[in-house]
Amino acid sequence: MPEAPVKISIRDELRVLLKLYPVFRRYTKDRARVKKSEDHVWDTKIEANGQKAVNTFIELGPTYIKLGQVISARPDLLPNEYIKAFEQLQDSVPPAPFQEVKPVIEMNIGKISEVFDSFNEEAISGASLGQVYLAKYHGDDVVVKVNRPNIRERVRKDIAVISRLLTFARRRLDTYLYVSLDNVIADFRGRIFDEADYLKESSNIMRIGENIRKRQEKVIVPEVYQELTSSQVLVMRYHPGVKITDVKTLGGMGIDLKNLAWRLDLLFMRMLLRDKIFHADPHPGNISVADDGTIILYDYGMVGSLDEKTRFQLLKLYDGLSNSDPDVIMDSLISMNALSPVANRAVMRRTMELAIANLQGKPVEEREVQEIFSIANDVIFEFPFRLPRELVLYMRMSSLLEGTCKLLDPDFRFIAILRQILYQEGMLNDLYRFQISEFVRKSIYSIEKGLDVLPLLKRSLEEQSGNHNSRNNIKIPASIFLGFFALASVYIATTDSYLGFSLLGLSVILFMLVLFRKS
């Protein structure tokens, strides 16, 4: 059943308008200034305006904090200076009074005094969509995560106001910017309600936990108590630990911080490049470390997934960025639907060459993800990109992850570690097999198209030779068949080199026999 339309008062709109209008004016001027600059350098005034925008989002409340986190990963919309400011936007909001939250808990799982052995009414954390409490359940220490009171209604109203104001601002925005912002709001509308649905988060926890356990990684994924979990309440086993950024305490525990940074990066890269689902919000509040060095992962509301094609194109993009190859970069972006295939390739190439010029001569292992994203920002900001949602989540995840790893190990180099992981995990071999299979697929498609003209070619040859039974005519279909056979052999060689190259040799011999066959 469709939801009832949201009622918005003039007062609601005016309150938000008065706060956002100055932000909007500064943003549009800063954006135009950056786009006009051929060689943009860091601007402290633009950075200050970005910080003012962040402060305004915090004042406007939970929905705007979440929205700010989303757009912090949109280099097609924000200048670098704004991105730096928005990346600091933490999902931390003072918890609502327990008496307002208690009815939500009891409406979903029953009377607190009857369900739990004990319940601490002081929240241990507060976020924009929910807050967390400690309790005991059947002798186990558990955490109870509960929606803020009326959060869905508030979010719906906030999004309706934002959409209305964006419509009013349409005349003052270029078409591309309006469409991009409208798409961001539409995507945000679906995402934020997913994050507030704890049944979906419970499913995320179980899927990610299963993948991690299969690899026997030194990671704790909390157990969910399904009998106490609903769309508004999530109950999990409590696993205390030291915050991942508390470097002094971790060092005092005798934990190897360099190794911890490596394991943390490996954990998220495996999720991204191996699994069908990845944790997309590795900010410090969501990661702790147990006494024995085991990583504890919290909060599974924001997740993403990459299909096989996008995953391999992402690897190819990294290769292009790290090797400063504009053609590989463009091919990858087009394949991921991040860039229109009709974009002016010559102009794009020149822009990319200028953007990556500052990395020339710098060893790959010294390049960092922030630098690469900065390059991507310079390029993306100049053209009408259409970043897919999962790539936005990936960019946010990678940026947060690198920041945390560098706190643990100042010498941490994201790209160097990534390359090492790709070699050790065999992912580069997977990439090469994928590229060969794509080559074979495209070749077979081309041959299939060529078969459409085969009857006409055969008839023409017969008419020219005057002999409809000429044995030479068999050379054409035989050659095409052997072409298929050779391509299949190359593909087989990616998994079984002996068999593949043996078949390839056989196809060459047969082709030579057909080619030099006497009439």
Number of H helices, E strands in the chain: 21, 11
Specify the residue for token string 């990963």: 73
The DSSP element (H or E) to which 87 belongs, if any, is helix 80-87
- CB-CB contact of 265 with 405 (8 Å): yes
- Rounded to whole angstroms, the Cα distance separating 311 from 334 reads 14
> Is the Cβ–Cβ distance between 367 and 322 less than 8 Å?
yes
- Token pair of 290 as six digits: 């147990």
Residue with tokens 């943003």: 27
Strands 219-220 and 140-147: unpaired
**Which runs of consecutive H residues, i.e. helices, occur in 169-299?**
175-195, 198-214, 247-252, 257-274
CA separation for the pair 300, 278 (Å, rounded): 9
SS3 52: helix
Take residue 91 and report the two structure tokens written for it.
């999902």
Residue 378: active-site member: no
Close Cβ partners of 369 (under 8 Å, ≥ 6 residues apart): 398, 399, 402, 414, 415
Q: Of 158, 281, 319, 378, which residue is the catalytic one?
A: 281
CA dihedral 264, 269, 270, 271 (to 10 degrees): 90
Return the amino acid letter for 440: V
Contact in structure between 158 and 64 (CB atoms under 8 Å): yes
Active site residue ranges = 281
